[in-house]
Amino acid sequence: MKVAIVGAAGRMGGRLIHAVLEAEGLELTGAIERAGHPQIGLDAGLVAGAGELGVTISADLATTMIEADVLLDFTFPDVTLKNLAVCAELGKMLVSGSTGFTPEQRNEAEKFAEKIPVVLAPNMSVGVNACFKLLKEAAKILGDDFDVEIVELHHNKKKDSPSGTAVRMGEVVADQLGRDYNQVANFHREGICGERGHAEIGMQTVRGGDIVGEHTVYFIGMGERIEISHRAMSRDMFARGATRACKWLSGKAPGIYDMQDVLELK
């Protein structure tokens, strides 16, 4: 399976290049960056510290995708939507880990996915996806008797807050408890803001240094507390999840899939 990577010179792009090289059955045929990026024209392997690969970083997505079967995209929602348009036009698959989609952007992505199979997953880690399953079970058992609070920590370069993963965790718990996440998520407490609402799900973010990503969901009851935590030690596990998603996507019908589909956790 021939893979092109967009955002190839980014933090995740570099790890994706290593993961594609390590994955059996995958071959890196293209590397794309935004027009004007200083590393356009350089060898993608050398930029990623993976040795020379003979794959030059280009800004021309459409030409690069002629050879590739699937586009691996860890960029930003507005960029991903443009990439989806190109892939839908050419009939190529897309796996994206971009985070921070608005509901409108998600709807737009769904339209492109009527033509091609797409994996959109705000967190490609196998461990985090196991946590989603555990959270559903915990919420089912604990019900309305426990207050739910979510705390996430990330590096100081992260652009979106709370993380896509924290939002997904909030949605999983809210859905199981029969609540609307958008109604019950509370992102801010300051001053005399009153007692905690019973149904609310507190969403707190911490930003600093080089933290790859940590999430804890607290289920806080009377006299006891359950914490479900995931700590990412390196970006490689996201990249490995993404290569697994590429392989799984081959031969699937058009539509949007997530990592729960890829890992068959549904």
Selecting among 115, 133, 158, 252, the annotated active-site residue is 158
The answer to whether residues 45 and 51 touch, using CB atoms and an 8 Å cutoff, is: yes
Q: How many CA atoms lie within 13 A of 219 on its CB side?
A: 21
Say how far apart CA 160 and CA 138 lie, in whole Å: 27
Query: Residue 121 or 246: which CB sits closer to ligand NAD?
Result: 121
Q: How far is the CB of 222 from ligand NAD (least distance, A)?
A: 36
- What are the residues binding ligand NAD (CB under 6 A)? 6-7, 9-13, 32-34, 37, 74-76, 79, 97-99, 121-124, 238
Q: How far is the CB of 70 from ligand NAD (least distance, A)?
A: 16
Query: Residue 97 or 162: which CB sits closer to ligand NAD?
Result: 97
Nearest partner of 6 among 81, 108, 66, 83, judged by Cα: 83
Q: How far is the CB of 154 from ligand NAD (least distance, A)?
A: 9
Selecting among 154, 155, 247, 266, the annotated active-site residue is 154
Query: Residue 46 or 220: which CB sits closer to ligand NAD?
Result: 46
Q: Is 158 a catalytic residue?
A: yes
Per-residue DSSP letter, 54: S
Q: How far is the CB of 44 from ligand NAD (least distance, A)?
A: 12
User: What are the structure tokens assigned to 210, written together?
Assistant: 């080089």
User: How are the residues of the chain apportioned to helix, strand and coil, as percentages rounded to the nearest 5?
Assistant: 40, 25, 40
Say how far apart CA 40 and CA 56 lie, in whole Å: 8
Nearest partner of 170 among 155, 151, 188, judged by Cα: 151
Which residues form the catalytic set?
154, 158
